[in-house]
Structure 1
Amino acid sequence: MAWFKGNTHTHTLESDGDSPPEEVATWYKENGYDFLVLSDHNVLTNPAILSHIVDETFILIPGEEVTSSFEDSSVHINGININTLVIPQTAETLVGTIQKNVDAIREVEGAPHINHPNFGWSFGAEELAQVENNRLLEIYNGHPAVHNNGGGDALGLEAIWDYLLTRGKRIYGIAVDDAHDFQTIGRDHSNPGRGWVTVRARSLDAYEIVTHLEEGLFYASTGVDLDDIRVSDRRLEIRIRQRGNFKYLTRFIGAGGKVLSETPENPAVFELRGPEVYVRAVVYDSGGWRAWVQPVFTASN
């Protein structure tokens, strides 16, 4: 098994990005990514038109940001590895609208992931708890207007994730850059390279990559790299790739978002005792970057 780095949420001139698909795909290939999903709004870009970029080190996975709404709420759900364009769906309720779009992606054999709940403060944990058959949720998005940390009475994306996990949802957290701006770089622009996933798989194959995403066989990151994640019945061990003289802190988090323990050690180890509903981890480095390790569900859950 190897690790493959990729981004599942990116835009081009086919919708509201500033660069053509070829330039966008080339940026990711030249910057060390192994796979990319071009996810334009209600547009499916056929990877075959960019076949000259694809090789044994880099693949394109077909995708679309299915873009709908309910009243003033935006409903954006990525469909990845879809086999045809998905038409946005609407319903009589917000939850119904989210669910119908998840179902529409499943109907074309794609994997849905729900995007940036706090974009426009569109929906929150209570609505997401009612959605079925979705396993992926953005917990970090590099767009400057998505409010990753929440605000006021609105939960941040990690807190939403913990709310869902605590209530028995088996859902995995992804990081994306949601890049739109390749020509202008700056804090107020949605630039590439701000968030990604690294998936464990036997080969660089679209079906296997997406299947393993939905099985939680990956970590999400804004800049921390991991060498290995080892899980047994009794132990979660995280081996962090040392970068220069950076220091690290790993927090192990359980039900309700409670910090179960933290350690500066590498590898970082948590002994599973059984009563936890789940245990996930966040690795922080001294430069401000993070990596999110997917939840381990204990036998009691």
Structure 2
Amino acid sequence: MTKLVFLVLCLPRLMLCLGAVRRWRGDESLRSHHELNSAPHLERDQNRTKQSEMQSALQAAVKRPFPESILSPLCIFLCGAREFPFAPPLRILSVMKRPMQILLAALSASLMHAQPQFETADVSGLRWWKGNTHTHTTNSDGDTSPDTVATWYREHGYNFLVLSDHNFFTDPSQYRYLEDSSFILISGEELTSSFRSKPVHVNGLNIPHILRPQKDITFLGTIQMNIDTIRNVRGVPHVNHPNFRWAFDHRILLYVQDYRLLEIFNGHPQVHNLGGGDRYSLEQIWDTLLTKGKRIYGIAVDDAHHFKGEFARSRSNPGRGWICIRARRLDPQELMQNLEEGLFYASTSVTLDDVVVRARSIEVVVRQEGDFRYKIAFIGDGGTVLQTSHGTRATFTLRPGLTYVRARVTDSGGGQAWVQPVFVKRQ
């Protein structure tokens, strides 16, 4: 195949040169004939000028840069021109024209197919819905009743809330009077287990009833059994705060199956989002899993326990982390489906107006708030920063060698937002 492509590309250049030689030799013969017959000086000068032009053109054709020397005559030929500036015989052109057109079309299609492209989704008609998937009440270790907790989120601009008490099912049907067209409650539970004193917490979203936390003889098995328990009732699992009490990291999560969601930010003061010592940050864990081929999306939560008293760094207060999901309607099923498809962003304070994914690019548009300044970083395999831009809008163009690209927006106050990874189609 390589030799055939080389022949197709080089043949026009060879024909160009041969045509030039043929013309030049013909003119040389004509010039000699006129000289032998004592032609007028003017005609000899014209022939010499023409000969010089032919020689210059031939030298230019031979010395012309390779792509230009191929593409110029080839494009003229394939577009239907009857002859090149120095044309080979028309009989050869007419015979070769159709096969060369077919070969060039096949080569062009092959090159286009080889270009990497992002996976894209149709998001037309979808809007953003803000919510939190990890919150506690007095039904477990929170300090405030479920109805008061729900009211706090509704009054602070949230559209949905999951009440995820430890090993307790807080039935949202008891609080339907708090819902309206812009706010709903979604059922949930934080399945709270452990392995050798290390916590294993997995949230079950949109579940129908209370679920029993699971234990296994291995750490991996304990996490997997709790995820399976949630899946068995068609709920949506997300793995909570790996660095809480330094419980586990990517070395175990790499082998866990059937989950799509991982907390990459948790507002609880003991979660160690940024890692420490030899332990990875939650973002580093995320990038390691993505680089190894896991399709994982990162969520931010507040893990709120303390709604009363002081709002301080040492307390687990609400409003520190949330997600915005794209959906047509404020419906639990649609929200959960789009959540697992990565149609959302996570945030601690930054609001995004749009995320536009095209076949070859990602565009991020940040909502300007106050006099904050913004830095937008595009991140790829291994957590490598591929591009950094400043301002409220940035576009990244896909390049070869990547399997995913995500984005992180940081404002001048330290707030952040995370755009979910967009995966590159397998060739």
- TM interval, shorter chain, is over 0.9
Compute the displacement of 1:121 (Å).
Answer: 0.6
Q: Is the 8 A contact 1:12 1:180 kept in 2?
A: yes
Aligned to 2:58: none
Q: Provide the C-alpha distance between the structure 2 equivalents of 1:272 and 1:176, rounded to a whole number of angstroms.
A: 30
Aligned to 1:8: 133
Name the aligned partner's letter for residue 73 of structure 1.
K
What are the ranges of 5 or more consecutive residues in structure 1 without an aligned counterpart? none
Q: Is the 8 A contact 1:275 1:300 kept in 2?
A: no
Residue 173 (structure 2) pairs with residue 56 (structure 1): no
Aligned to 2:112: none
Aligned to 2:302: 177
| TM-score using structure 2 length | 0.70
| Higher Cα Rg, which structure | 2
Q: Match for 2:334 among 198, 203, 208? A: 208
Q: Is the 8 A contact 1:68 1:75 kept in 2?
A: yes
Aligned to 2:425: 299
Aligned to 1:97: 222
User: Of Structure 1 and Structure 2, which has the larger fraction of its residues in strand?
Assistant: 1
1:260-289: CA deviation from partner (whole Å, max 9, x where unpaired)? 110003311100124211100000011110
Q: Match for 1:136 among 261, 264, 275? A: 261
Query: Number of residue pairs matched?
Result: 301
Residue 401 (structure 2) pairs with residue 275 (structure 1): yes
Q: Secondary structure at the match of 2:354?
A: strand
Structure possessing the higher relative contact order (Cα contacts under 8 Å, 6 or more residues apart): 1
User: Of Structure 1 and Structure 2, which has the larger fraction of its residues in helix?
Assistant: 2
Identity across matched positions, percent: 58
Q: Match for 1:40 among 147, 165, 180? A: 165
Aligned to 1:192: 318
Name the aligned partner's letter for residue 155 of structure 1.
Y
Aligned to 1:126: 251
Q: Match for 2:353 among 199, 219, 227? A: 227
Name the aligned partner's letter for residue 213 of structure 1.
L
Name the aligned partner's letter for residue 75 of structure 1.
V
What are the ranges of 5 or more consecutive residues in structure 2 without an aligned counterpart? 1-125
After TM superposition, where is structure 1 displaced by more than 3 Å over at least 4 residues in a row? Answer: none
Compute the displacement of 1:300 (Å).
Answer: 3.6
| TM-score using structure 1 length | 0.99
Q: Provide the C-alpha distance between the structure 1 equivalents of 2:374 and 2:241, rounded to a whole number of angstroms.
A: 27
1:100-141: CA deviation from partner (whole Å, max 9, x where unpaired)? 000000001100000000001110111000000000000000
Q: Secondary structure at the match of 1:52?
A: helix
Aligned to 1:242: 368
Compute the displacement of 1:258 (Å).
Answer: 0.6
Q: Is the 8 A contact 1:141 1:195 kept in 2?
A: yes
